[in-house]
Structure 1
Amino acid sequence: MRHLTLAAVPLVLTLTACGPNGDQGGAPQSKAPPALTETEKADLLAALPAPYNTGDLDNGRRVFARCRACHTIGRDGPDMAGPNLYGVFGRKAGERPRYNYSNTLRTADFVWDAQALDRWLQNPRGFLPGNKMTFAGLPDAKDRRDVIAFLKVETGYRPAASTPPAS
């Protein structure tokens, strides 16, 4: 029985390392902020610049469902085939720590904002030829507006004039 227990130790360690936080590389985990209430989400949506302030968050969530095969959006979510998108707005392209970007994206010289993401989502390969994203794009401008509004609300973006929600 002792041999069975000792044999199980490497298996347990391996499974633990492959768990949902296995990609953290030993980095300390920060405590996730409390989830926004529906009222706070509506307030944040209204504070976004046009046209995103008129976005349909439910449609944005539905459209983003296509992206979930490759991307996560939670604060401590893992990278998958694509990088986690939490905090993407305001981040320089190709600079999420520990994600293996294509050389094209790693050397791109732009910061992710709504306009860049809109052009990217419309036609990723046309926007930045040589990137490794296989998604063909979202041709519908309303769907792009809605998914960008959804991402702004769900990935930690706060307008510069915004104050933290009251506790």
Structure 2
Amino acid sequence: MRLGLALGMLLALGGCGRTGDAAVASAGGEPSAARVEAGRKLFARCAGCHEVGPNAGNIFGPQLNGVLGRKAGSAAGYSYSPALKESALVWDERNLAAFIRDSEAVIPGNKMRFMNFMSEQQAGEIVAFLATQDGPAATAR
């Protein structure tokens, strides 16, 4: 009975067999090394606007260290659009991947403009990489 209930809940949440539900983790709860590496490579598409790592700062977009679990529009020192500042959204794997794919659909009126038509899998791989970037941001530039 418990197995049927758990399976039903998984299916209801859409989490069974869908690669695009962001950084779908391995059984241990962590994304695989291959998924993280794929995301690191794909992040090059984001690096013109966003930084990660020990010296990350805000450039055209906010730095993304520790983005998972952070309230949208709250990285210190970045001038966000009113839409992001007023959002109640807290970044998790699912909503961050959705935002990467279509930011306007997730938070209408935001100023991120990424027109690369990324697949669900690719967006999830970027999120898997970002999940490894939990260090503090550098001071404002």
Both structures adopt the same fold (TM-score exceeding 0.5): yes
Pair 65,147 (structure 1): closer, same or farther in 2 beyond 3 Å:
same
Q: Which has the larger radius of gyration?
A: 1
> What is the aligned partner in structure 1 of residue 14 from structure 2?
none
Q: How does 1:1-16 map to 2 (within 5 A)?
A: none
Gaps of 5+ in 2: 1-24, 136-141
- Identical columns (%): 33
Partners in 1 of 2:87 and 2:96 — Cα distance?
Answer: 14
> What is the aligned partner in structure 2 of residue 104 from structure 1?
83
> What is the aligned partner in structure 2 of residue 117 from structure 1?
96
CA contact (8 A) 1:45 1:55 kept: no
Pair 98,139 (structure 1): closer, same or farther in 2 beyond 3 Å:
same
Gaps of 5+ in 1: 1-43, 158-167
One-letter amino acid of the counterpart of residue 140, structure 1 = S
The normalised TM-score by structure 2 is 0.69
- Structure with more of its chain in helix, by fraction: 1
CA contact (8 A) 1:93 1:109 kept: yes
> What is the aligned partner in structure 1 of residue 134 from structure 2?
156
- CA drift of 1:92 comes to 0.6
Task: Work out which of the residue numbers 60, 63, 88 in structure 1 matches 2:42.
Answer: 63
- CA drift of 1:55 comes to 5.6
The normalised TM-score by structure 1 is 0.59
Partners in 1 of 2:32 and 2:95 — Cα distance?
Answer: 17
CA contact (8 A) 2:98 2:123 kept: no
CA contact (8 A) 1:47 1:53 kept: no
What is the number of residues matched between the two proteins? 111
**Alpha carbon RMSD of aligned pairs, Å?**
2.3
